[in-house]
Amino acid sequence: MKVYLNKAFLVNFFSMESEDDVYRDIERFLIRIKSSAELILNFDFFEACQDPSNGVIFRRIAGKILAQKTRSQNFNFLEECQAASFHNHTKQHIFFLDEVPELSIEQNFGCFVVDTTNIRRAEVLFQVKEIRVNQKYRNWNFLSLIKHPCNALIITDNYIFFNDRSHENMISILKNIMPNTLKENFEFHLTIIGAHQDPEQRYQVEKEKDRLQKFLSEEFKYSINLTIIQKYHHDRYIFTNYYKITSPRGYSLFRNNRISENLETTLDCKSIAYFSGDYSAETVMLEELVKCRTLKNDSNLLTSDYAGNKINRLLT
């Protein structure tokens, strides 16, 4: 994870001194940057701390933040982040900025941006939701409750193509998670992993890819790099750049806009910023992505086991 921070955000944010939960969440997050994350500044921290106009609060808080070893400087990141190449090989970019109206990082590249004009925008970055999926629902529209910017998606479910023959569930999930817009020359990465335990129930990966690609081309106006890997994966996850969604049951719950009582389940939805005690959602997510990467890179993976080029920035 790379966290970008500019000086104006830090100064203006801590001058607000609000007691709202979202302010405390942002402060805790910045102070508690994990070793797996890199904090990147576009200002000279030591010079800023010596400036009395920045105030005691700034110097005290910034001292905690920047005492960490995982910080670096990039004075040009606001310019560089407007190019597609900047976003191609990093799983998560999070920007904490003062108002920069000419930037469209979120809309163009599916990155999370918090600015001081809309601090409450950060709520989705810190929320934890347990969503009970029962018979009152007809599809996956409730995933819009946690819709957030992203540019990569992985779904793991061994029976998704076996139980979701019409792609009813897959299409509904993608409609409610994938971004509405991305820059024209920037690819969204989508990978689906899973295989029925019964070898007699294997599916034709190229056929499933063609069917799904047709829907994607009709629904979304940006480029989508789709890979399907027919390899057994024990757990059922949805990963985006910023969220880990876990289901005790598979993701093919709905049939003809109905869900049977014995298929009801509860989704556990956590952002990578969530931590409690020794638990870190980011750490768990990274560990699970290693397993997905191992399946993708398996030397025994036959050409009949996958369709697509296996590129996904979450698996680099």
CA distance 6 to 77: 10
Q: Which of 41-50, 64-73, 292-301 comes out lowest in average pLDDT?
A: 64-73
DSSP code at position 76: T
Q: How confident is the model at residue 14 (pLDDT cuts 50, 70, 90)?
A: confident
The predicted pLDDT at position 278 comes to 82
Mean pLDDT, rounded, of the chain = 90
| Of 35 and 36, the one with more pLDDT | 36
CA distance 35 to 134: 39
Place of tokens 């606001």: 78
The predicted pLDDT at position 97 comes to 93
- CA distances, 102 to each of 105, 117, 225 (Å): 10, 14, 28
Q: What is the mean pLDDT of residues 138-167?
A: 94
- CA distances, 297 to each of 241, 247, 314, 316 (Å): 20, 25, 14, 11
Q: What is the per-residue pLDDT across 168-202, written as a single tens digit (0 to 9) for each?
A: 999 999 999 999 999 988 999 999 999 988 888 88
The predicted pLDDT at position 107 comes to 93
The predicted pLDDT at position 228 comes to 97
Tell whether the model's pLDDT for residue 289 goes beyond 90. Answer: yes
- Cβ atoms 174, 203 nearer than 8 A: no
CA distance 188 to 174: 12
CA distance 153 to 110: 11
| Of 200 and 40, the one with more pLDDT | 40
Place of tokens 């921290």: 45
Q: How confident is the model at residue 305 (pLDDT cuts 50, 70, 90)?
A: very high
Q: What is the mean pLDDT of residues 194-223?
A: 92
Question: pTM value?
Answer: 0.93
The predicted pLDDT at position 34 comes to 62
Q: What is the per-residue pLDDT across 234-283, written as a single tens digit (0 to 9) for each?
A: 899 999 999 999 999 999 999 999 998 899 999 999 999 888 888 889 99
CA distance 111 to 247: 25
Q: How confident is the model at residue 36 (pLDDT cuts 50, 70, 90)?
A: low
DSSP code at position 305: G
Q: Is 193 left (phi over 0), alpha (psi -120 to 50) or beta?
A: beta
